[in-house]
Structure 1
Amino acid sequence: MSLRRFLPDRFTCALVVTVTLASLLPCRGHAASAFEVLTDLAIALLFFLHGAKLSRDAVVAGMTHWRLHLTVLASTFVLFPVLGLLLRPVLSPLVTPALYLGVLFLCTLPSTVQSSIAFTSMARGNIPAAICAASASSLLGIFVTPLLVGVMLESHGQGGMSWDAVGGIVLQLLVPFVAGQVAQRWIGPWVSRNRALLAYVDQGSILLVVYTAFSAAVLQGLWKQMPLPVLGGLLVVNAVLLTIALLVTRYGARALGFDREDEITIVFCGSKKSLASGVPMAKVLFAGHPLGAIVLPIMLFHQIQLMTCAVLARRYAERARKIELELEADSATRA
């Protein structure tokens, strides 16, 4: 068994380096203002490129499977928020109030796009439906997440969400996305041929937000307020949320009568949360809150979900190969 599969990927290493840099050399003053502007521009470019890349044909092809899409959306925007609220008496003592606010925010986020589709493909699931489900979740999250955050903040005693914050999400994320969709006919093929560019912008914008967020948090004494037991508690909270989501999506899909390929799509699209959408949204929605503590749960959940889903995808793929071999042997015997 290769040890490489247990090692963190380059982006995870880059996140660790960024947090370390922000802890040792936090940006402040004019440098912090410059980084804020640069971060806003990078986020706008990111969602513009996502809009230019998203295939309308793939979305239309997958939209007919409405039962699957409703199941994924219910898991993403209903199951997770309900878990975040119901498990609060049990899990909140493990972390600080600011960290649990980040956990509640995590529960409102849309699903990932790239990794959901990649794991569905690896596990031999319904890829067109995964493309549609993950894309719809990402797009609806621009509207649904701010509304859910408002409800969650009220339940957490933090006050509701202002319309200015919702307007900020629309202006910073939706407008560039729509502009990318409009420009797709001219630049779509070029974006598809240069997917590496989108990956660099995707990861680069996240690293910029993480650096500015943790710089501000470090200057406010983040690490002095967060001992190792609290970080361990956060890992437990994230692991519990992911485990419940995986179990509910897996056995719920079977109870609803979905076939194996659809079950795979529901598991990998309905159990994930998007770091790429979450970090930019947190920057807008939590302008007056300790942003470093709010994005930390998302960063940890991101890595846990990638490692766990990689193992699950390999198991699904191995099971599919075993079924194929059994069918081939049965066919040969009959012949």
Structure 2
Amino acid sequence: MSEQGQRRGNQSQIRLGFVPLSDCAPIAVAKELGIFERYGLNVVLSRELGWASVRDKMFYGDLDAAQSIAGIAFALGMGFSELRCDVAVPLILNLHGNAITLSSDLKPSEIGKGEGLHSYLTQSWKKDRPFTMAATHRFSSHHILLYQWLRRHGLSSPADVEIIFLPPPLMPRHLKAGHIDGYCVGEPWNSESILAGTGWSPAVSSDLSHGHPEKVLLVSGRFLRERKDESIALAAALLDACKMCQEQGFQNEMISILAMKEYTGASEEVLRNSLAGHFNTGIGTTSSTSFHVFHGDSVNCPTVEKASWVLAGLRSIGILPDVTAGSLSRIYREDLFHAATLCSSGA
């Protein structure tokens, strides 16, 4: 056995959580292609239904690290909810990756990109319940983007629209059943409804807020204190995987990996809709070259500016107090990112 193999055999497990979304690609790729092992890491993946599960398992110590929405880092690290614990973000896993999907019962000719929604709801809404949209979590970028899109089109009060929260994989079936009228979620769960003919997309997140940070690598404070070298190696391995996921020539292999039941379980056709260059919105086709951004200049560094986008968005919804930049840099750890960059085999 090689020295690295012996070290890996003696290495404690790292419990790494993820949610079945297209942007779990760096985690799936690092696992399937042996990148974690190359760094001497014994990573065990835990597939979670949604972000509430990730938050709870990070708090109770059932996960050492996780793919996460950025808001959970602040909710846990700053105590915005009843659960509080030390966490750190050493890596941004991707930018963009989300879209808004509306029920096919809402006609594109009447709604447009959203500009017709207000008049439709005030003049033509017939259901005996409020117009209902879903997002993935109260502290998610999806909630921010959905709120911004609604406000942009004149729907800013709870009287105009009800926003509920659902795990990503459940949204297409709730849309099909008529329980909700639309949602904002990451791929492939927009394409699932679009290609099934039950939904269409008026907007994608790269259009709503170009360059916005999306998923992060979230590491527990305990894991970082006790196993700092492994925390840095984990970030380095995932940085290598992010670089691979951005390569055009790797798309087919990445899609095949994501289609595995261990990851999204979605069909390759559905995954390809946002990952292979063109996005079928249900009413036309647009370029998807910036739909998912896994790597590029300054993409992966967890800067205070990226943290500030999330907090400013959550504050605009009215669910966060003011915080200081010092508080942000305590959680968004550029020092750990730079250490991972030096450790990365792709450096």
TM-score under structure 2 length normalisation: 0.26
Select the structure with the greater relative contact order (CA < 8 A; seq sep ≥ 6). 1
TM-score under structure 1 length normalisation: 0.27
Question: Whose helix proportion is higher, 1 or 2?
Answer: 1
